Chains A and B, each alone.
Chain A
Amino acid sequence: MKALADWLDSRTGYRRLLHHLLYEELPSGTAWLFTTGSVVTLLIGCQFITGLGLTMYYVPSPRLAFDSVRFIMSDLPLGWMLRGLHYWGASFLVVATVVHMLRVFFLGSYKAPRELTWLSGLTMLMVILGFSLSGYLLPWDQKAYWATTVTINIARSTPIIGEAIANVVRGGADLGALTLGRWYSAHVFLLPAALVVLIVTHIALMRKHGISGPIEPHAGPAVLFFPWHVIKDTVMIAVVFASLITAAALVPAHLDEIANPIDASYLPRPEWYFLSLFQMLKYFPGPLEPVATMVIPGLAIGFLAMLPFLDRAAGRHPLRRPRRIFTAVMAALGIGVIALTGLGVADRPPHKDRNDWGLLPIAGMEIATGDGNTCIRCHENGGPAAPLAITRLSKDNEWLLSHMADPVVIAPGVRGTRDHAPPPVMSRFKAQAAVAYLKRVHAGDPVPAHVDDTVKLAALTYAETCVVCHRISGEGGTVGPDLTVVGRRRPEAEIHALIEDPETITGEPSVMPPFGKRLKPEQIDALARYLASRK
């Protein structure tokens, strides 16, 4: 072993390099505050390694992106943990980078001759935010799709060249496969390459100028980096890594429903680290919008970039002259970001309950899996199509609806030459319900174990009539009132009477037609009972 190491050393000289890296002399008094950079390095390392695992399974195409993430989350052993680490790692990294920047700021470590170290660090922060931004488009869920739509529209608001920028980041006129391809490429090739270059530059500059050490020089001998400072780095790293593992294990990474470009009701919200920018937009409507999207963020970044050139006096203490003024600006910036993030969190739209299936998916479940369902004619082992249990939703809504209405037209050759049975036809209403069901299952929402017969009847009735105008739990039309919590507003008897003939309750002609004659009494009973229970 020793002989091999000697030989390697004689050929590469690695011991000298190792010695140079490990036995740096640090100024006396270098303490825990100087471990923030190591934590950032650890987290970047974790992101690289977990990202490597994820790219083996992720497919950057709108057809399969969502399914591949779902596959990672539910089918792949340890996949949920892998994605959990990457997902949480992104948040941890943003926090760690900002903490590191604040440490450098408050200790005045950015001052000459370390201006370029500061600028390379600031660029790294931008690259890390770029990672976050490109990263959350990749799962191609609702959040990915709509938050990216908003991001691109913000880019479009740039004066003069906005439209051109938007087209370049979209890769075309619409958000789709071309967008996903270029964001993926940026996320896994361009940005990592940039980050590696920046890290090497940053550390090389740090070594060239030495670390800044405590604000006031301490008397005393220099400390060797290894092991006397490395042990502090290691303890911090161990704490952060343990927290990351805990977060990933306890709170699984989020995955919305699959992106649905025609669902205009989705309220897009970015990840928390962009929430302050998102919230700020609300206060600058119309023509003032560029103030929130360009001017304020531009000024903040400009201030940070110019900082080492503006603050040229010798003192490093943040509360003493002449640094006070910069500390005040930084504090204002920090308070602004925190306040806006807080307001953004408070403004949160109501959370969708994954256990509340409403009625449409229940009807769909009954249609797709209940007695007499026709899907199983083809979707079975040995049949022309894969069993539903392994079928993915890789087609768009229109395809699914047409396929269910007439499977033969959309999939030629399904019917054998000897089979003269009439084509299985499903009404568009039923098909819509079935699609709603498949989407729920697909999103990993827990399938209700038992559904009452009354609820089944209510669901099937709703799916063929009420759904056109009324919405329940995010599904259905918007012409009539949302019935998600109608039980809070009206008792069962009143709902019953309303369905039979709205005029008896409203006392005036109603847009809603009377259903007393169009529905069977048991259907109205079932609907009224179910709706009254929605509180």
Chain B
Amino acid sequence: MNRSSQSIDAAGRRGFLVRLIQGTYAMIGATLAFVVGGAVIAPSFGRREAMWLHAGDAEDLTEGTPLPITLRVARPDGPSEVVDRKVVYLVKIGSEVRALDSTCTHLGCRTRFNPESQRIECPCHGGVYDVTGHVLSGPPPAPLRAMTTRIDHGQVMVQV
């Protein structure tokens, strides 16, 4: 074996070691990134389970007049828990009962039902909706969000 083949040998060994070192640290890094990154990112994509709440009774509703109902929605909040309040309008239209989320679709203010004008109004930027949630005037880009409802033995159940 002459000198040059020895140094080629050494260069090959060195290259192998470098790759081994890089590979090992890449694996350690990937393991840590998986555990830490996973734990950090996972809750960002967690979904809250939907639940049905009793919002009111069908017999209490008047045709075409929204009835504001405050729902209490309990949910875990990280290590703590909170009970949120959510206002929905129950509107009876014919045989159907709709539940409208009272949050304005413009910038998220809480809307109010005005019994005199028979319209739902947003106090922030002047959005106006009709009793079925359609936009009549103002900046809101979309109708009030309709929530899934069902009627169980005369009880209006709303999915939140």
Asked if A144 is at the interface (CB within 8 A of a chain B CB), the reply is no
Question: B142 to chain A: which residues have CB within 8 Å?
Answer: none
Cα separation A238 to B42 with both chains bound (whole Å): 27
Which residue from A72, A228, A238, A382 sits with its C-beta under 8 Å from B71?
Answer: A382
Asked if A373 is at the interface (CB within 8 A of a chain B CB), the reply is no
Q: B70-97, CB under 8 A of A: which get 1 and which 0?
A: 0111111011111100000000000000
Q: A58-83, CB under 8 A of B: which get 1 and which 0?
A: 01000010011011100111110110
Question: B82 to chain A: which residues have CB within 8 Å?
Answer: 386
Is there an interface contact between A50 and B35, defined as CB atoms closer than 8 Å?
yes
Is there an interface contact between B72 and A53, defined as CB atoms closer than 8 Å?
no
Q: Is the interface of B mostly helix, strand, loop or mixed?
A: helix
Which residue from B17, B31, B40, B54 sits with its C-beta under 8 Å from A227?
Answer: B17
Cα separation A465 to B89 with both chains bound (whole Å): 52
Is there an interface contact between B81 and A56, defined as CB atoms closer than 8 Å?
no
Is there an interface contact between B80 and A79, defined as CB atoms closer than 8 Å?
no
Q: A359-391, CB under 8 A of B: which get 1 and which 0?
A: 000000000000000000000011111110011
Which residue from B25, B39, B52 sits with its C-beta under 8 Å from A234?
Answer: B25
Asked if A52 is at the interface (CB within 8 A of a chain B CB), the reply is yes
Is there an interface contact between A390 and B76, defined as CB atoms closer than 8 Å?
yes
Is there an interface contact between B24 and A237, defined as CB atoms closer than 8 Å?
yes
Is there an interface contact between A231 and B78, defined as CB atoms closer than 8 Å?
no
Cα separation A72 to B40 with both chains bound (whole Å): 11
Asked if A230 is at the interface (CB within 8 A of a chain B CB), the reply is yes
Closest to A50 in B: B36
Asked if B107 is at the interface (CB within 8 A of a chain A CB), the reply is no
Cα separation A391 to B82 with both chains bound (whole Å): 9
Cα separation A245 to B28 with both chains bound (whole Å): 10
Asked if A46 is at the interface (CB within 8 A of a chain B CB), the reply is yes
Report the contact-size class of chain A (Cβ under 8 Å from the partner): 35 or more
Asked if B124 is at the interface (CB within 8 A of a chain A CB), the reply is no
Cα separation A52 to B51 with both chains bound (whole Å): 34
Q: B11-52, CB under 8 A of A: which get 1 and which 0?
A: 000100110110011011001101110111011000000011
Asked if B53 is at the interface (CB within 8 A of a chain A CB), the reply is yes
Which residue from B36, B39, B53 sits with its C-beta under 8 Å from A381?
Answer: B53
Cα separation A124 to B46 with both chains bound (whole Å): 40
Q: Is the interface of A mostly helix, strand, loop or mixed?
A: helix
- For A49, A235, A238, A381, the residue with the greatest tally of chain B CB atoms inside 10 Å of its CB is A381
Evaluate whether A238 and B28 lie within 8 angstroms (CB atoms) in the complex, with A49-B36, A381-B53 already known. Answer: yes
Which residue from A53, A227, A384, A387 sits with its C-beta under 8 Å from B39?
Answer: A53
Cα separation A112 to B36 with both chains bound (whole Å): 42
Closest to B18 in A: A227
Cα separation A231 to B52 with both chains bound (whole Å): 60
CB of B122, distance to nearest CB on chain A (Å): 26
Cα separation A390 to B38 with both chains bound (whole Å): 23
Asked if A57 is at the interface (CB within 8 A of a chain B CB), the reply is yes
Is there an interface contact between B36 and A384, defined as CB atoms closer than 8 Å?
no
Question: A394 to chain B: which residues have CB within 8 Å?
Answer: 80
Which residue from B43, B78, B81 sits with its C-beta under 8 Å from A391?
Answer: B81
Is there an interface contact between B81 and A46, defined as CB atoms closer than 8 Å?
no
Asked if A209 is at the interface (CB within 8 A of a chain B CB), the reply is no
Is there an interface contact between A67 and B79, defined as CB atoms closer than 8 Å?
yes
Question: B75 to chain A: which residues have CB within 8 Å?
Answer: 386, 390
Evaluate whether A384 and B32 lie within 8 angstroms (CB atoms) in the complex, with A57-B78, A392-B79 already known. Answer: no
Cα separation A46 to B31 with both chains bound (whole Å): 11
Question: B24 to chain A: which residues have CB within 8 Å?
Answer: 234-235, 237-238
Is there an interface contact between A78 and B31, defined as CB atoms closer than 8 Å?
no
Is there an interface contact between A78 and B38, defined as CB atoms closer than 8 Å?
yes
Is there an interface contact between B53 and A231, defined as CB atoms closer than 8 Å?
no
Which residue from B17, B39, B73 sits with its C-beta under 8 Å from A382?
Answer: B73
Question: A387 to chain B: which residues have CB within 8 Å?
Answer: 74
Is there an interface contact between A68 and B76, defined as CB atoms closer than 8 Å?
no
Is there an interface contact between B76 and A82, defined as CB atoms closer than 8 Å?
no
Which residue from B28, B36, B53, B81 sits with its C-beta under 8 Å from A53?
Answer: B36
- For B21, B27, B51, B53, the residue with the greatest tally of chain A CB atoms inside 10 Å of its CB is B21
Is there an interface contact between B79 and A78, defined as CB atoms closer than 8 Å?
no
Is there an interface contact between A64 and B21, defined as CB atoms closer than 8 Å?
no
Asked if A241 is at the interface (CB within 8 A of a chain B CB), the reply is yes
Cα separation A68 to B38 with both chains bound (whole Å): 17
Is there an interface contact between A77 and B72, defined as CB atoms closer than 8 Å?
no
Question: A50 to chain B: which residues have CB within 8 Å?
Answer: 32, 35-36
Q: Residues on B close to A: CB < 8 A?
A: 14, 17-18, 20-21, 24-25, 27-28, 31-32, 34-36, 38-40, 42-43, 51-54, 71-76, 78-83
29 contacting pairs across A/B (C-beta < 8 A): A42-B28, A50-B32, A50-B35, A53-B35, A70-B79, A72-B39, A75-B76, A76-B39, A77-B38, A77-B39, A77-B43, A82-B35, A227-B21, A234-B20, A234-B25, A237-B24, A237-B28, A238-B27, A238-B28, A245-B31, A381-B52, A382-B51, A382-B72, A386-B75, A386-B76, A386-B82, A387-B74, A390-B75, A394-B80
| Extra pairs beyond A245-B31, A386-B82, A392-B80 (10, CB < 8 Å) | A50-B35, A53-B39, A68-B79, A70-B79, A78-B38, A227-B18, A231-B20, A234-B24, A238-B28, A383-B72
Q: Residues on A close to B: CB < 8 A?
A: 42, 46, 49-50, 52-53, 56-57, 59, 64, 67-68, 70-72, 75-79, 81-82, 85, 227-228, 230-231, 234-235, 237-238, 241, 245, 381-387, 390-392, 394
